[in-house]
């Protein structure tokens, strides 16, 4: 898995520069078209009637009232559509041979299994007619007992899918040497045993999901416009589920307003829109309301984590045991069961740990299915190990930075106990840089002063080092994990007769700026200006080969495919140039877009001239085809392993529990950077989402399985005053496994930030006896935790001293709203 | 009901249902789809436009309430000379990623500088509180607004761009 590729020799002119994005003018002026912006003549609007109960038999569904409404064209219950499906909704990752996967239909038949489960659909001439008519669908529910709490669901007290006989979907075990783990714990000088809760999160891209399907009834074609991260994968899955021949499907992702994993899925509405376009012979479109998205779009995290560390007398970790309970929700979506496994290999973090045992049980609950959310499994893993390492440091009285240094992996490539080979790394310099930047020693001194003086505002310094696996993925590794697709990526490079360049990529950017970065790569390689390179993507008719964008894979896999495609183009161009210059290929040098005869630079031919010669085909070498184009499908030899160190400095008001983010320093190493401007933007956004999990966000369910925080008024996506500016730096440790030495940066911030914040809060409050605080660490929770730790349980507290733990909401008074509590460091 | 308004400098007269929100009127009747809808609780600001010179969330206003008013949407910001300085600052500072929040964010930011021509970072953050962005963590949005206000930023400078 460690095949090494030589780094590029040519001196890059554009790669590495802070080039602004070519995508921006269209987005900044309103010219860009998102799915809901499309004008589609004659389109019908789809409305989805959703279950208002978490678990209920659908005793009857009366559509007659809806059908009488003006503008209504059709209405269907689940049973009316059963004949439309060639297969149930897809789950592409059977993590174990005996994994239980209930049949999941786009519209429920017989019973609903979560609030938001589709139970009927209405099709109408206008959006408002569809919305109005939905109120006239009468559904009679017979409530069934619910399984909402994860432990309760595990007990099988109430089984959701009776035919499965249990709520347990699977138990997946990774325990290469169980005896070694037992020995490590038996011989340990120190052990820690910790339990953490990863709360459910709503991914919340600012553009909700949208889909529009335009059929050509006589030709049999369907054009599917959808706000997705995965047009290519979706095309395959639509073919399989709706039974439309795949070659008749064209999937286009127009401008997509963020995804964060939530659009890495195959959704009921996409499947429905194709089926209804087929059934009714007219375009069908659907736009998700924000509040609807709360339950209709997959959710993230939702795990109970148990982690144990064994360490020797010096604090060197000798063994790790991890047990997870992962909440699947009511059904398995595209990769629901595999999400915890994406973290399964990384619970030892950046540390050299010889013995490792991991086990995860996936459990069904009467809630919206979970699936990928930024980081997908890796934020959870990093949270657990970084919290646990801090616990070990505290137990031993060792500085958290020192305990990390004692355990860092130092030799690369590194074969990890769970079975990965880390490509490259250099962890200590990243940590040292972060500590230096944040002024670690001075902060510890200030912390000491505040502790000694009993300051009501305590200072906390939260460390988080991380390593992640990106560049999904070597297809053979995916096979060994039972994942039913590969991990390759495709790129095509075409020299146009005028010397301009067309790049076609199988990656599908939705905010990551691939058009800009890919044009920089092609420009450097081919010796043209980036503005002369057009980058096409996200349309399966234009880019038929691709595996899309997620898992920080696009640059390391798709960018590498592009690099190799330019290599092929240059090779062909070289043979044409050699022929025309009457020189041997080996005697030609290629730089700055020109082939020249070594030693006689006046004998030369530009790439543009070669492209024109290839186009006219008047005088090509024997056996060389006309035109200058190459396509490459590249399968990475290994994952890439970006890493870094983040430090979050917090001030905690011990009287109110409010947390102020005083400073945030991030040092990330994603290998070589193609465009540092874009790298930094990715880090900023990731940190914000990581902080959001730590302090603000939670999908709150009540005991009946109702989502209490579905709206953006209740679900606290941070706004600008909630966050500080971030101080960023980087180190550069190239990956040896791809030609540009790149690693990936899309998820790093989100992986690092959450434990940095919570470690900071716990660090501030440890002298008070606090060892944990549940996320999101709202002022009330922090205050309650302090009360409990100091022997004043919440109930004993003076009335009115702290607001009750109501649902958070944007419009509540500042004391109850973490959003308003934080000042901005200047 | 008939409503007439001046939108991006041009007169617009349309029949609307009384319940039509201004944002839907702008997007559907006027075909100006740069103004986005990100929520149903007036929380996100993606729909922000200028109504008689003030930034408003156009999902909180009925089309009929805007009768007789002057409206500027994101489509009205760039001119023949190129992008509005705020748009250019957003590009130069990488203040957008997916771009969905961006039209509303730019409209809010322009109106913020109308009120406070040289804001502090804290004032920028407070001023944009009603506009949510899920991609940028606000860091570069704040920088863009500070840059557009003519304040020097100490960090590295980007290269290229529509204005360059
Ligand atoms: S659409 Fe969210 S505030 Fe108007
Ligand atoms: S740029 Fe994507 S929401 Fe702001």
Q: What is the pLDDT of residues A194-227, one digit of tens each?
A: 999 999 999 999 999 999 999 998 999 999 999 9
pLDDT of residue A798: 42
Residue A792 confidence (pLDDT): 78
Alpha helices in A341-426 (DSSP H): 341-344, 378-396, 400-407
The length of chain B in residues reads 164
Q: What is the DSSP track for A576-618?
A: HHHHHHTS-GGGEEEETTEEEETTEEEEEEEHHHHHHHHHH-S
Distance CA A279, CA A288 (A): 22
Report the distance separating Cα A561 and Cα A490, nearest Å: 6
Is B94–A823 a contact, with Cβ atoms under 8 angstroms apart? no
A720 touches chain B (CB under 8 A): yes
| Residue among A19, A210, A720, A729 with most chain B CBs within 10 A, to mutate | A720
Best mutation site among B98, B104, B128 for ligand 2, i.e. most ligand atoms within 8 A of its Cβ? B98
Distance CA B106, CA B84 (A): 10
Give the gap in angstroms from C-alpha B162 to the nearest C-alpha of chain A: 7
- Nearest residue by C-alpha to atom 3 in ligand 1: B42
The mean per-residue pLDDT over the stretch A17-26 comes to: 98
Check if the beta carbon of residue A413 is closer than 8 Å to that of residue A422: yes
Which segments of A654-703 are extended strands (E)? Answer: 659-669
Atom of ligand 2 nearest to the CA of B97: 1
What is the per-residue pLDDT for B159?
A: 72
Proximal ligand: closest to the CA of A511:
2
pLDDT digits (tens, 9 = 90+) for A471-503: 999 999 999 999 999 999 999 999 999 999 999
Q: How confident is the model at residue B153 (pLDDT cuts 50, 70, 90)?
A: confident
Residue A609 CB contacts under 8 Å (≥ 6 apart), including other chains = A499
**Residue with CA nearest ligand 2 atom 3:** B133
* pLDDT classification of B17: cutoffs 50, 70, 90: very high
Cβ–Cβ < 8 Å for A661, A724: yes
The bridge status of strand A317-329 relative to strand A300-311 is antiparallel
B-chain CB neighbours of A664 within 8 Å are none
* CB distance A545 to A504 below 8 Å: no
> Among A36, A206, A229, A297, which would you mutate to test the B interface (most chain B Cβ atoms within 10 Å of its Cβ)?
A206
Phi, psi of B13 (to 5 degrees): -125, 125
Pairing, β A414-415 against β A421-422 = antiparallel
Taking an 8 Å cut-off on Cβ atoms, the answer to whether B161 and A719 are in contact is no
Interval between CA B131 and ligand 1 midpoint (Å): 9
The answer to whether the CB of B22 is under 6 A from ligand 1 is no
Question: Is the confidence at residue B7, as pLDDT, over 60?
Answer: yes
Among all bound ligands, the one having the nearest atom to the CA of B38 is: 1
Q: What is the pLDDT of residue B154?
A: 76
Neighbouring CB atoms inside 10 A of A410's CB total: 11
pLDDT of residue A4: 42
Give me the torsion for CA of A478, A482, A484, A488, rounded to 10°. Answer: 10
Residues in chain A closer than 8 A to B40 (CB atoms): 289-291, 711
Q: Do A205 and B98 touch (CB under 8 A)?
A: yes
Strand pairing partners for A651?
A459, A660
Give the single-character DSSP code of A627.
S
Out of B83, B97, B125, the one facing A721 most closely (by C-beta) is B125
Considering Cα of B127, then B133, then B135, then B137, what sign does the dihedral take? positive
Under CATH, which architecture does the B2-76 domain have? Roll (3.10)
User: Is the CB of residue A185 less than 8 Å away from at least one CB of chain B?
Assistant: no
Confidence at residue A810, expressed as pLDDT on a 0 to 100 scale: 59
B79 touches chain A (CB under 8 A): no
Measured distance CA(A32)–CA(A255) in Å, rounded: 7
> Which chain B residue has the Cα nearest residue A511?
B98
For B34, residues 6+ apart whose C-beta sits below 8 A from its C-beta are A29, A30, A31, B73, B74, B75, B103
What whole-number distance in Å separates Cα of residue A175 and Cα of residue A167? 24
Question: Torsion-angle region of residue A143: left (phi > 0), alpha (psi -120 to 50) or beta?
Answer: beta
Atom of ligand 2 minimally distant from the CA of B96: 1
Query: Is residue A812 scored above 50 in pLDDT?
Result: no
Q: Report in angstroms the alpha-carbon separations of A28 from A22, A203, B78, B123.
A: 11, 24, 9, 23
In three-state secondary structure terms, A421 is strand
Write out the DSSP string of B73-124. -GGGT-BTTBS-HHHHHHHHTT--SS-SSHHHHHHHHHHHHHH-SS--HHHH
**What's the CA gap between A625 and A576, in Å, rounded?**
10
What is the per-residue pLDDT across B123-136, written as a single tens digit (0 to 9) for each? 999 999 999 999 99
CA angle B71–B74–B78, rounded 5-degree value = 110
CATH 1.10.150.120 fits B85-156, yes or no: yes
Cα separation, A293 vs A259, whole angstroms: 13
CB-CB contact of A773 with A652 (8 Å): no
> Is the preceding peptide bond at A333 cis, omega within 30 degrees of 0?
no
| Interface contact B74, partner A, CB < 8 A | yes
pLDDT of residue A809: 54
Q: Which residues of B touch A678 (CB under 8 A)?
A: 94
The pLDDT tens digits of the residues spanning A128-178 come to 999 999 999 999 999 999 999 999 999 999 999 999 999 999 999 999 999
Sheet hosting strand A727-730, strand order edge to edge: A457-467, A643-653, A659-669, A727-730
Q: Cis omega (within 30 of 0) on the bond before A558?
A: no
pLDDT at A9 over 50: no
B75 touches chain A (CB under 8 A): yes
Give me A772's structure tokens.
């944990």
The pLDDT mean for chain B works out to 95
Burial class from Cβ neighbours inside 10 Å (0-12, 13-18, 19+) for residue B54 reads: exposed
Q: How far apart are CA A312 and CA A352, in angstroms?
A: 13
Q: Residue A712 and residue B132: Cβ atoms within 8 Å?
A: yes
Nearest to A335 by CA among A376, A382, A285: A376
> Are A289 and B75 inside 8 Å of each other by CB?
no
pLDDT (tens digit, 9 = 90+) per residue, A615-660?
999 999 999 999 999 999 999 999 999 999 999 999 999 999 999 9
Rounded CA gap, A763 and A756, in Å? 10
Work out how many CB contacts closer than 8 A connect A with B: 204
Output the pLDDT for position A793: 61
A819 or A761, which is more confident? A761
Determine contact, residues B97/A645, Cβ cutoff 8 Å.
no
Nearest to A328 by CA among A147, A536, A521, A111: A147
* Distant-in-sequence, close-in-space partners of A309: CB < 8 Å, separation ≥ 6: A190, A191, A192, A317, A319, A320, A388, A389, A391, A392
Q: Locate tokens 């980007």: which residue?
A: B158
Max alpha carbon distance in chain A (Å)? 93
Q: Any idea what the Cα angle at residue A133 is, between residues A128 and A138, rounded to 5°?
A: 155
Question: What number does the ligand 1 atom closest to the CA of B57 have?
Answer: 4
Q: Å from B3 to nearest chain A CA? A: 20
* pLDDT over 90 at A795, yes or no: no
ipTM above 0.85, yes or no: yes
Distance from the Cα of A677 to chain B's closest Cα (Å) equals: 7
Identity of the residue in A258, A678, A689 whose CB atom sits nearest the CB atom of B94: A678
Whether the CB of A71 is below 8 Å from some CB of chain B: the reply is no
Name every residue whose Cβ is closer than 8 Å to that of residue A555 and which is 6 or more positions away in sequence. A517, A674, A740, A742, A744
**How many other β-carbons are positioned within 10 Å of the β-carbon of residue A4?**
11
Mean pLDDT on A2-27? 76
Tell whether B18 is within 8 A of chain A (Cβ): no
H/E element holding A134? helix A127-134
| Range list for CATH 3.10.20.30 in chain B | 2-76
**Three-state SS string across A697-748, please?**
CCCCECCCCCECCCCCCCCCCCCHHHCCCCEEEECCCCCCCCCCCECCCCCH
Q: Give dist(CA A589, CA A672) in Å, integer.
A: 26
Q: What is the pLDDT of residue B160?
A: 63
| Residues 6+ away with beta carbon under 8 Å from B5 | B11, B12, B66, B67, B68, B69, B70, B71
Stated length of chain A: 826
Between A28, A206, A260, which is nearest B133 by CB? A206
* Residue numbers in B near A36 (CB within 8 A): 33, 37
> What is the distance between the alpha carbons of residues A538 and A536, in angstroms, rounded to a whole number?
7
Cβ of A290 under 8 Å from any chain B Cβ?
A: yes
B57, B65 Cβ separation under 8 angstroms: no
Chain B environment of A19 (Cβ under 8 Å): 158-160
CA distance linking residue A459 with residue A463, whole number of Å: 13
What mean pLDDT do residues A510-532 have? 97
Rounded to whole angstroms, the Cα distance separating A775 from A197 reads: 7
Phi-psi region at A591: left, alpha or beta (left = phi > 0; alpha = psi -120 to 50) = beta
Residue B45 Cβ < 6 Å to ligand 1: yes
- The pLDDT tens digits for A286-315 are 999 999 999 999 999 999 999 999 999 999
Min Cα distance B4 → chain A (Å) is 22
Average pLDDT over residues B98-104: 98
Domain with CATH 1.10.150.120 in chain B: 85-156
């Amino acid at each position: 898995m460690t095949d090494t590729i030589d780094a590029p020799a040519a001196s890059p002119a554009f790669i590495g520069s802070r080039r602004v994005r070519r995508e921006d003018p269209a987005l900044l002026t309103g010219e860009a078209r998102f799915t809901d912006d499309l004008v589609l003549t004659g389109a019908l609007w789809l409305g989805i009637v959703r279950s208002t109960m978490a678990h209920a038999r659908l005793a009857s569904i009366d559509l007659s009232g809806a059908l009488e409404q003006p503008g209504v064209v059709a209405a269907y219950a689940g049973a009316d559509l059963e004949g439309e499906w060639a297969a149930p909704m897809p789950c592409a990752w059977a993590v174990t041979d005996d994994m239980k996967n209930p049949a999941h239909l786009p519209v429920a038949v017989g019973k609903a299994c979560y609030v938001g489960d589709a139970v009927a659909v209405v099709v109408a001439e206008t959006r408002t007619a569809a919305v109005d008519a939905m109120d006239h669908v009468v559904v009679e529910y017979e409530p069934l007992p619910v399984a909402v709490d994860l432990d309760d669901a595990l007990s099988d007290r109430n089984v959701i899918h009776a035919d499965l006989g249990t709520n347990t979907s699977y138990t997946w075990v990774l325990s290469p040497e169980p005896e070694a783990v037992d020995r490590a714990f038996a011989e340990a000088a120190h052990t820690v045993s910790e339990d953490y809760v990863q709360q459910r999160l709503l991914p919340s891209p600012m553009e909700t999901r949208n889909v529009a399907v335009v059929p050509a009834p006589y030709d049999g074609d369907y054009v599917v416009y959808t706000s997705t991260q995965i047009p290519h994968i979706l095309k395959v899955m639509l073919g399989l589920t709706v039974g439309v021949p795949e070659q008749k499907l064209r999937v286009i992702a127009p401008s997509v307003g963020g995804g964060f994993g939530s659009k890495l899925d195959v959704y009921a509405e996409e499947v429905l829109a194709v089926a209804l376009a087929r059934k009714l012979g007219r375009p069908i479109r659907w736009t998700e309301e924000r509040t609807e998205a709360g339950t209709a779009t997959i959710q993230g995290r939702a795990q109970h984590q148990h982690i144990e560390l064994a360490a020797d007398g010096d604090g060197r970790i000798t063994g790790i045991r991890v047990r997870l309970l992962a909440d699947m929700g009511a059904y398995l979506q595209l990769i629901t069961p595999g999400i915890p496994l994406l973290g399964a290999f990384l619970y030892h973090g950046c540390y050299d740990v010889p013995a490792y045992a991991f086990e995860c049980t996936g459990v069904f609950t009467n809630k919206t299915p979970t699936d990928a959310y930024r980081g997908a499994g890796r934020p959870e893993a990093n949270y657990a190990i970084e919290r646990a390492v801090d616990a070990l440091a505290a137990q031993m009285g060792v500085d958290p930075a020192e305990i990390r240094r004692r355990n860092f992996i130092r030799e690369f490539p590194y074969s990890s106990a769970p079975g990965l080979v880390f490509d490259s790394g250099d962890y200590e310099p990243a940590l040292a840089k972060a500590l230096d930047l944040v002024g670690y020693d001075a902060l510890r001194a200030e912390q000491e002063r505040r502790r000694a003086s009993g300051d009501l505002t305590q200072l906390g310094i939260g460390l988080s080092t991380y390593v992640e696996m990106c560049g999904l993925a070597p297809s053979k590794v995916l096979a060994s994990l039972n994942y039913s697709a590969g991990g390759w990526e495709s790129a095509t490079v075409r020299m146009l007769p005028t010397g301009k360049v067309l790049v076609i990529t199988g990656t599908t950017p939705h905010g990551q700026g691939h058009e800009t970065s890919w044009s920089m790569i092609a420009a450097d390689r081919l010796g043209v200006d980036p503005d002369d390179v057009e980058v096409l993507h996200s349309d399966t008719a234009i880019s038929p080969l691709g595996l899309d964008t997620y898992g920080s894979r696009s640059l390391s896999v798709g960018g590498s495919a592009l690099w190799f495609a330019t290599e092929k183009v240059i090779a062909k161009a070289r043979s044409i140039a050699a022929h025309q210059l009457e020189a041997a290929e080996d005697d030609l040098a290629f730089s700055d877009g020109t082939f020249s005869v070594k030693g006689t630079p006046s004998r030369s031919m530009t790439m543009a001239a070669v492209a024109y010669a290839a186009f006219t085909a008047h005088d090509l070498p024997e056996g060389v085809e006309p035109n200058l184009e190459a396509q490459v499908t590249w399968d990475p030899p290994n994952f890439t392993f970006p890493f870094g160190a983040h430090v979050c400095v917090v001030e905690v008001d011990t009287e109110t529990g409010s947390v102020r983010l005083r400073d945030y320093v991030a040092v990330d190493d994603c290998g070589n950077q193609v465009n540092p401007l874009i790298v930094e933007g990715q880090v900023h956004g990731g940190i914000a989402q990581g902080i959001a999990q730590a302090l603000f966000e939670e999908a709150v369910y009540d005991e009946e399985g109702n989502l209490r925080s579905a709206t953006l008024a209740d679900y606290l996506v941070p706004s600008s005053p909630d966050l500080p500016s971030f101080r960023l730096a980087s180190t550069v440790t190239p990956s040896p496994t791809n030609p540009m030495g790149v690693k990936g940066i899309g998820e790093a911030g989100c992986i690092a930030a959450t434990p940095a914040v919570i470690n900071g809060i716990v660090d501030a409050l440890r002298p008070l006896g606090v060892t944990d605080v549940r996320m999101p660490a709202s002022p009330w929770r922090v205050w309650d935790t302090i009360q409990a730790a100091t022997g004043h349980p919440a109930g004993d507290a003076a009335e009115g001293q702290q607001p009750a733990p109501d649902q958070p909401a944007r419009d509540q008074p500042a004391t109850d709203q973490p959003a308003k509590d934080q000042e901005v460091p200047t | 009901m008939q409503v007439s308004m001046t939108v991006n400098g041009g007169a617009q007269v349309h029949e609307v249902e009384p319940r039509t929100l201004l944002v839907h009127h702008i997007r559907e009747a006027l075909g100006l789809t740069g103004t986005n809808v990100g929520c149903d609780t007036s929380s996100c600001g993606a729909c922000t436009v200028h109504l008689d010179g003030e930034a408003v969330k156009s999902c909180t206003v009925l089309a009929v309430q805007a009768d007789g008013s002057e409206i500027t949407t994101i489509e009205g910001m760039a001119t023949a000379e190129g992008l509005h300085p705020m748009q250019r600052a957003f590009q130069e500072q990488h203040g957008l990623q997916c771009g969905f929040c961006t039209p509303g964010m730019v409209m809010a930011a322009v109106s913020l500088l109308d009120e406070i021509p040289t804001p502090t970072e804290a004032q920028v953050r407070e001023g944009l509180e009603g506009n949510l962005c899920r991609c940028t963590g606000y860091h570069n949005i704040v920088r863009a607004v500070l840059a557009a206000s003519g304040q020097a930023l100490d960090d590295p400078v980007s290269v290229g761009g529509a204005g360059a």
